[in-house]
Amino acid sequence: MEPPSQKLVRAALRFFFEKLYTTFAWTYDLVAWISSMGQWRDWQSAALEDLPEGDILEIGHGTGYLVFKLMQSDRKVFGIDPSRQMTRTAKKRLQRSGYHPLIIQSKAQRLPLPHGRFSAILCTFPSAYIFDPATLSEAHRVLQSEGMFVIVGSVRITGRGLHDRFAAWLYRVTGQTGGFKRGWDQPFLDHGFTAHLEEVTQQRAIVFRVIARKEPKIN
């Protein structure tokens, strides 16, 4: 059983991280860099490996880093985020870099996007909304047949320095380390996906990512 003190710390940290998406959105990149000891961008980038050709949607784009990386590679990418502050921050960042992003404020449970539009959907370190049946139904709807749904959802920090140990403790307390619990794939199977878990080994961490594919229609 989890000690009450650890529950309190976990709740406080989660409250703080939630505020990073709204009131303190302007500090998000700095806090993410510090809390991950400089590894945050590398962890996010695990979502970009082996993407298919075609249009891409990022759910929960945050400050727009992955949208920026994809646009640098001449990919057509859309972004949605429920946070008004994050939407504004991402647009400003991308416009300063000379890009005109297709970014809108919206919830994942109700995507204002057409059926079968995207070859891939990306999401990095989402909260519990990603397993909401409405989110999975919408992801299935807007994906092309056999399209990919890539979720970077957890990390195991393997570095041995003191800074890495601190980061490992922090992510353990907030529940974003150590992989996925048994039965994690059932919501995807229930919504017309196949799903498996991959480990992406980096210099100081192992990043866990879900690869779900929309099952093709059988005529």
pLDDT, tens digit, 9 for 90 and up, residues 9-63: 556 556 656 666 677 677 878 888 877 888 999 999 999 999 999 999 999 999 9
- DSSP codes, 115-154: TT-EEEEEEES--GGGG-HHHHHHHHHHEEEEEEEEEEEE
- Which pTM does this prediction carry? 0.86
- In-domain check, residue 9: yes
| CATH number assigned to the domain comprising residue 122 | 3.40.50.150
- Return mean pLDDT, the chain: 87
Range of the domain at 135: 4-214
Instruction: Annotate 83-101 with b (16+ C-beta within 10 A) or e (fewer).
Output: bebbbebbbebbeeeebeb
- In-domain check, residue 219: no
- In-domain check, residue 118: yes
pLDDT, tens digit, 9 for 90 and up, residues 83-130: 999 999 999 999 999 998 899 999 999 999 999 999 999 999 988 899
- Count of domains forming the chain: 1
